[in-house]
Every structure is written in structure tokens, then in C-alpha cells.
Amino acid sequence: RAGMAGAALSRVPAVQIDGHGVFKYVLLRVRGDGAPHKDIVRGHGWAEYHADLFERTAEELARHGLSCECLGGGRLAHRPEERKIHVYGYSVGFGRADHAVTTEKLKAEYPDYEITWADEGY
């Protein structure tokens, strides 16, 4: 079981965000039975609330036998023409995500971007 959960976990992309714009994001901790956890970032403009991102991702993960918890949220300002992403803000429902963790995840996905974060702003 742990082997299957680990394989499913390894296929979960660490980052899935919209290609441009300002939108809400959540930092999620994904787990499988007996497998180690993995933190992932999800951010999309279609989400009116942080909970929308969490619920849709939780449903997708559940189909692969994985569960997740929300570690917090915030906003992303993605400016691909400038190769910049700024991480800031918080989620009223889930609290502020650890933007430093989110920034590291984004840097791994966008190595040629300038990625900054701040605890200020909403």
C-alpha cells in the first residue's frame, strides 16, 4: 500500500498555477497511506474562494487514494512578460500560507523567474 501511495504521490505536480494574472493560491500537504507527505501549490483565477481550490484539489487527489490538508493560502501575482511572480496575502478561511515554502516550490518550477514574497497585503 505504501508503495502504491508513494507512486501516486510522486505523480502529483508540485505546482499548478495560472499562466498570468493575480489570483488566489493554497499551499496543501498531500498524504498517501504510509507514504511520506508532499507539499504542493495550487493557484487559479477561477477560484472565488481559497476553499474552492482546496476542495477541487482534494477531490482530484481522492481519486488516486491521496488526501490533503490546507496549510494556508494567499495570492500570486504572475507576470510572465517580466518573468516575475510575487507571493503575498492570506486566506480568511485557512490563514496565511508559509510564503517562504511556496516561493521555494515556485523557484523549482520557474528557475528563470524572479520570485518574491511579502507578508503584507491582501
Domain assignments of the chain as residue spans, ordered by start: 1-118
pLDDT (tens digit per residue) in 43-100: 999 999 999 999 999 999 999 999 999 999 999 999 999 999 999 999 999 999 999 9
Q: How many CB atoms within 10 Å of residue 107?
A: 15
pLDDT, position 33? 83
In this structure, what DSSP letter does residue 33 have?
T
pLDDT score of 21 more than 80: yes
Cα 30 to chain center, whole Å? 11
Q: Is the pLDDT of residue 122 over 80?
A: no
Active-site choice (20, 37, 44, 50)? 50
Q: Checking phi first, is residue 65 left (phi over 0); if not, alpha (psi -120 to 50) or beta?
A: left
Active site residue 99: no
Specify binding-site residues for substrate. 24
What gap in Å lies between CA 82 and CA 48, rounded to an integer?
A: 26
**What's the pTM?**
0.94
Topology annotation, domain 1-118: Pyruvoyl-Dependent Histidine Decarboxylase; Chain B (3.50.20)
Separation CA 90–CA 72 (nearest Å):
7
Q: Which residues are annotated as a binding site?
A: 24
Residue type at 80 in one-letter notation? P
Output the CA torsion 102→105→107→113 (10° steps): -60
